[in-house]
Structure 1
Amino acid sequence: MRKLSFKLGLLFFVFVLGIETVLFASLYVTLVNARINEEFEQLLARGNNHRDVLEKSYHLSTLEHVVMMESEAETDVVITDANGNILYFSDRILPFAKKLIPHADVRHISHSGMVVQNNWKKQPYIATASPIRMEGKTKGYVYMFQRTASIQNMISKLKHHFLVVGVVSVFLTIMTIFFLSRVITIPLIRMKQATEKLSKGDFSVRLQVKGEDELAQLGKAIQTLAADLEYLKKERNEFLASISHELRTPLTYVKGYADIARRPNIAEEERANYLSIIYEEAERMQKLVKDLFELAKMDRHSFQIEKEPTPLCLFLKKIYEKMAPAFQAKQMVLIYRCEENVTVYIDRQRFEQVMTNLLDNALKYSHECSTVSMHVKREKKNVIIMISDEGIGIPEADLPHIFERFHRVDKSRSRIGGGTGLGLAIVKEIVEAHGGSISATSQFGKGTTMLITLPRG
């Protein structure tokens, strides 16, 4: 993750530095050009002012006054006649003026003047020319000069300021990118540590996730994964413990009674009784293994459901006729009600297993002379099958868990009843494989109702 943090930081730094360089360069060039143009405009405006004064009063005293004014300023002035002959000038500018003025092309100069020397990088002066026109004729020219050293000094200071600001900006950029890269990578580091814990079987992962961005969603997904894996680990341990318990008890019975039955001095009637117990326990183990095999196929998604259109009422009637004698033997009443013309797509063999299991539970946990009803109700898009009994009911605390594997409401009676605790789990898997759902309502001591919802054909 440190490599990722470095890569992200370096990538951000390169991009930001590139953008800052382009922006600073553009700003620098724009500002420098603006300041230089401003110097040219100010110098030209100063020359035009002198020209305006001379056009109003072109006398010897005025010419001397203009030259005297510039002698105390940072600029210099040269006044020529129409032919370019120097009339008046500042003392220090004469050598440069003699070189420049003969080559200055002022034949087509406008009354607003023009820049005649703009090479501030290589020449010692910049210069402008303003024509003196009186009565429609050019009387002469006012040349203004300014040292380029002042401009270069200004540009140097500007470079220094930009350099300082650039260094500060780069430093702040590095600090900001470091902070932002840490902000981005710290959650990733925590997620990496969390996944490492998960890979080692430690599912007690708790990530502090804030926000709704992609990183937060990833953190929530890892948190959910950890919770699911922790639940699966708990379920697996309980599942293995339950299997171990379920197999240990009948195996203990089988081994114990087999040892007794092997004794030569016991009566044949007693030996037959022990063998009968051994057979019952073997049948119990066989049923448990069969149920486990069914669940294993469901977990591997190799559980095949072959649906076919089935008249539900006719299908349930056959199950009713098959189960009715068992209810009559216990002096119980099994009631069957079904609306006509209800068709569903089901695997008949698997769904018969569902109905048989539910009716067998109703028979097993109901009192003698009570009633069990099997009722079908049709809705717009679904068909609901209700199996209601008047039995012992299910405690409220156990009701949410009755479809879990190996869950038994009455642990003390489970062995007598012969249940494995897997029947309702298998029922739930089969119903859901049909695209349906199953739920239960119950009042302890009064009875239970199982509701199966199936999509209509």
Structure 2
Amino acid sequence: MLRNREIQYFLTALCAIALVMTFAAAFVSLAAALITAATAILLIFCFFWFTRWRYRELEKLSGYLRRISGGDYTLDVRDNREGELSILKNEIYKVTLKLSEQGSQLQRDKLRLTDAISDISHQLKTPLTSMMVMVDLLDDSGLPAEKRKEFTNNIRVQLERLDWLISSLLKLSKIDAGTARFKREPVKAETLVRKALESVLIPMDIKEQKLTVQGDPEAAFTGDLHWTAEALINILKNCVEHTPEGGTIAVTYGENALYTEIVVADSGTGIPKEDLPHIFKRFYRGKNASEGSIGIGLAMAHSIVTSQYGTIEVKSSPGQGTEFRIKFYKGIV
């Protein structure tokens, strides 16, 4: 403590003042000089004691901070008394809580990253293994032309699947990292639906599915046409995939004072009740998932919609079809 130059200067000033006042009091009387000297000594002692106490408190706080830096967030230094040290303790405690929460969040993010890498590795391994086997079979010079054509086509299908998977993962990573730039411009619901349907009309025609589209031509919302179309395409693909031949897919849209709503409903197999809470999770495959399903389309749709301050809900029962409701609110809620 005495190595502190500020305290050295302050004690020097106190001693100088005490000597000057004692000498001045001596001209009055010896008793006045003694009282002045005693008072000065007591004041200096009080200052020394109080400063020593503050140093001990600061030393405790320093030890507390060292333990925090070591990862111990369990200590509580809150102090309800008045004073600058109490304020400092409370502020340190607030920072400790924030650091604890950030540490927990980082740990959760690390676990999610580990799970995501594991899921991605699994998704990539399956088509890669399949292609390696077929490439080995293509090396056989005696392989019939029909089989060679079949294997070549299967490799092409697997490559298209890998291309879609990698593209989807890149889009999701952009959204997660906050680098995806969502435009905030007026989008007509009719234009959005027409753009999204372009990607599923051929698969619907192959399965002879019936399509109905109804809505208010003036319905609109503020968002990004390209990204929102990507979300709606994934929802439509899910409906086409789980609706049998000759089934029906209905798209309706409208607008009210609170939000613009787009509804996609199908007459498909439906989603089991136990799968409903998980269908927007990445790489989740429900009981009715098709063999080639990866479980990333609906997760992407959910991320795109919620990133634009919208909501997406699903209602379904086995054998009763599925209904997706997308809402874009007039204001952020």
Q: 1:148-171 deviations in whole A, cap 9, x for unaligned?
A: xxx52x336525643563354244
Structure 1: which 4+ aligned runs deviate by more than 6 Å?
A: 14-19
Q: Percent identity?
A: 19
Alignment partner of 1:440 is 2:310: no
Query: What residue in structure 2 maps to residue 409 of structure 1?
Result: 285
Q: 1:16-35 deviations in whole A, cap 9, x for unaligned?
A: 9699x59x96xx88xx98xx
Give the partner amino acid of 1:356: I
Query: What residue in structure 2 maps to residue 253 of structure 1?
Result: 130
2:226 to 333, 337, 349: 349
C-alpha change, 1:190 and 1:372, in structure 2 (3 Å) is farther
Query: What residue in structure 2 maps to residue 219 of structure 1?
Result: 96
Query: What residue in structure 1 maps to residue 116 of structure 2?
Result: 239
Query: What residue in structure 1 maps to residue 83 of structure 2?
Result: none
Separation in 2 of the partners of 1:265 and 1:454? 59
Query: What residue in structure 1 maps to residue 261 of structure 2?
Result: 384
The answer to which structure, 1 or 2, has the higher relative contact order (CA under 8 A, 6+ apart) is 2
C-alpha change, 1:18 and 1:448, in structure 2 (3 Å) is farther
Query: What residue in structure 2 maps to residue 427 of structure 1?
Result: 301
Alignment partner of 1:452 is 2:326: yes
TM-fit CA distance, 1:360? 0.8
Q: 1:227-271 deviations in whole A, cap 9, x for unaligned?
A: 222122122222222222121111111111111222133333233
Give yes or no for contact 1:190–1:207 (8 Å, CA) kept in 2.
Answer: no
SS at match of 1:287: helix
Q: 1:199-234 deviations in whole A, cap 9, x for unaligned?
A: xxxxxx644456594222222221222122212212
TM-fit CA distance, 1:396? 4.4
Deviates more, 1:351-360 or 1:436-445: 436-445
C-alpha change, 1:360 and 1:236, in structure 2 (3 Å) is same
1:313 to 173, 179, 190: 190
Q: 1:366-421 deviations in whole A, cap 9, x for unaligned?
A: 4556544323232324212222345432544662x54443x21338945x1x3333
Q: 1:251-310 deviations in whole A, cap 9, x for unaligned?
A: 111111111222133333233332232222122112112223333444565545456543
Give the partner amino acid of 2:271: G
SS at match of 1:344: strand
Query: What residue in structure 1 maps to residue 238 of structure 2?
Result: 361
Separation in 2 of the partners of 1:17 and 1:450? 77
Q: Structure 1 length as normaliser, TM-score?
A: 0.57
Separation in 2 of the partners of 1:12 and 1:209? 31
Give the partner amino acid of 1:383: T
Higher radius of gyration, 1 or 2: 1
C-alpha change, 1:206 and 1:269, in structure 2 (3 Å) is farther
1:393 to 266, 271, 280: 271
Number of aligned positions between the proteins? 315
Separation in 1 of the partners of 2:167 and 2:43? 78
SS at match of 1:387: strand
Q: 1:61-89 deviations in whole A, cap 9, x for unaligned?
A: xxxxxxxxxxxxxxxxxxxxxxxxxxxxx
Query: What residue in structure 2 maps to residue 162 of structure 1?
Result: 39
Query: What residue in structure 1 maps to residue 27 of structure 2?
Result: 121
Give the partner amino acid of 1:427: A
C-alpha change, 1:185 and 1:398, in structure 2 (3 Å) is farther
Give yes or no for contact 1:440–1:448 (8 Å, CA) kept in 2.
Answer: no
Q: 1:429-449 deviations in whole A, cap 9, x for unaligned?
A: 43345x332333345535544
Separation in 1 of the partners of 2:77 and 2:256? 44
TM-fit CA distance, 1:183? 4.2
Separation in 1 of the partners of 2:64 and 2:305? 42
C-alpha change, 1:14 and 1:331, in structure 2 (3 Å) is farther
Deviates more, 1:214-223 or 1:339-348: 339-348
TM-fit CA distance, 1:181? 0.9
Give yes or no for contact 1:396–1:444 (8 Å, CA) kept in 2.
Answer: no
Cα RMSD (Å): 4.0
Query: What residue in structure 2 maps to residue 278 of structure 1?
Result: 155
C-alpha change, 1:214 and 1:335, in structure 2 (3 Å) is farther
C-alpha change, 1:250 and 1:388, in structure 2 (3 Å) is same
Q: Structure 2 length as normaliser, TM-score?
A: 0.75
Separation in 2 of the partners of 1:209 and 1:404? 37
SS at match of 2:284: coil
